[in-house]
Structure 1
Amino acid sequence: MGKTGESLAYRQSTSRDQLPARSTPVDAFEAARHAFLSGRRLDMGALARDLGVSRATLYRWTGDRDNLLADVLWVELDRLLDAAADQAGGSGVARIHAGVTWFLDAVAAADPLRALLRDDGARAVRILTAPTGPIRPRLVGRIEELIAAEVREGGYRPPAPAGVLADGIVTVGERYLHNDGDPELNPNPETARVVISLLLRE
């Protein structure tokens, strides 16, 4: 999606005649991503003005606000999942648990996500947790891949199919990290770690 540091959102004070001759969908995504990482509520009208395009053009590029926000969220969550896989040591159940709990801790500590839950509440929770929504199935799929890889390596004998375990792990994470979208109730990763250990036991 281009270099985040070159996003239009980094240059909000730039005068109109200094803007690029033509903004692109990549610019729209990067500006939205920067707004999220800065803890600001995504405003489609302001984003269109900053890009120098109409709202109709912006919506044609990105879909509606929820769709754009979901795309931004997934990029950040996917990045954290990659980091979790890199950080996880060992093999078998130990590697799965280490990777999943590293991810859980990282999400719990993510100020942009806490700001989103504070500002958008139930709407943000719905984007993050809807069973057929833009985030949850992909998250379950990534964790299922992590479990399945350890099963293929022969270091883990799961008590249930990888997909079932992955769905359970995501459910636990949702319960303790996105509790009604109220940041005062979040996070509670220690309890989640215990429950995830019980789910993964051989």
Structure 2
Amino acid sequence: MQYSATVSSQPDDGPPSFRKPTASDARTMATWLFRHGERVDMHTLATHLDIGRSTLYRWVGDREKLMDQVILASIGDIWDEARRGADGAGVDRVLDATRRFMQGCIDFEPLATFARREPNLALRVLLDPDGLVTGALARNLSREVAVAAPGVAVPERTFEVLALAATALLWAHVAASRDPDIDATIDIMRTVLTAHARVTESPGAEPDQP
């Protein structure tokens, strides 16, 4: 998901300004603040846009929903780059893309800073099973399997669980200022996906559903 905005000319290092702010502009401004390592709160955002907070809430929902949108808008390029750089074939390629994506998210300082600075909010946003971020990762995994391993049949619910589990294993550690074990997370995903691959090859067997 991407957001567009009509932005007036401004220095490259300055925040965007808007002649007549819209809901899309509010998300654009929030994303700019986030990418520059600033805390995205409703008061600051409303002040930047010169609008009332009630208008801002009507446009973007509460802060939790806003951060879900902001994070999603900020990490799409990370997945695209991970997918392009992935090595291997089949399930191995899917997992390499996922590994690169997870490392890219950790290396994306605005997101890591947010998780460490506001761990409770970050985990609520990132671990929301109905959230935009989790849903996008599940869909990306599903699409990548369909492209890289088209013969492997995996239920959509399995992708949803894998996305949520991978996100939890990654960001719970970051929020606690610990180093996450990406390899262990990938090993779990490999176990699940290869089990489904075996079932696809031998239809009589059934994998354990996560």
State whether TM-score is above 0.5: yes
The answer on whether the counterparts of 1:39 and 1:112 sit within 8 Å (CA) in structure 2 is: yes
Q: Is 1:11 aligned to residue 14 of structure 2? A: yes
Cα distance in 2 between the residues matched to 1:49 and 1:9: 20
- Residue matched to 1:189: 182
Q: Is 1:177 aligned to residue 175 of structure 2? A: no
Deviations 1:105-155 (A, max 9, x none): 111222111111122212211111122233222321221121122343x4x
Amino acid at match of 1:189: I
Cα distance in 2 between the residues matched to 1:193 and 1:7: 43
The answer on whether the counterparts of 1:108 and 1:186 sit within 8 Å (CA) in structure 2 is: no
Q: Which runs of 4+ in 1 moved over 3 A?
A: 2-12
Which structure carries more helix by proportion? Answer: 1
Amino acid at match of 2:170: L
Relative distance call for 1:20 and 1:135 in structure 2 (3 A) is: closer
Structure 2 unaligned segments of length 5 or more: list them: 198-210
TM norm structure 1: 0.79
What SS is found at the alignment partner of 1:11?
A: coil
Cα distance in 1 between the residues matched to 2:181 and 2:137: 19
Selected match of 2:193 from 188, 191, 200: 200
Relative distance call for 1:38 and 1:164 in structure 2 (3 A) is: same
CA RMSD of aligned residues (A): 2.9
How many residues were matched structurally? 192
What SS is found at the alignment partner of 1:135?
A: helix
Higher RCO (Cα < 8 Å, 6 or more apart): 1
TM norm structure 2: 0.77
Cα distance in 2 between the residues matched to 1:180 and 1:105: 13
Relative distance call for 1:46 and 1:4 in structure 2 (3 A) is: same
- Residue matched to 1:118: 116
- CA drift of 1:42 comes to 0.7
Structure 1 unaligned segments of length 5 or more: list them: none
- CA drift of 1:33 comes to 0.5
Selected match of 1:61 from 46, 59, 62: 59
Deviations 1:38-67 (A, max 9, x none): 222112111111111111222222122111
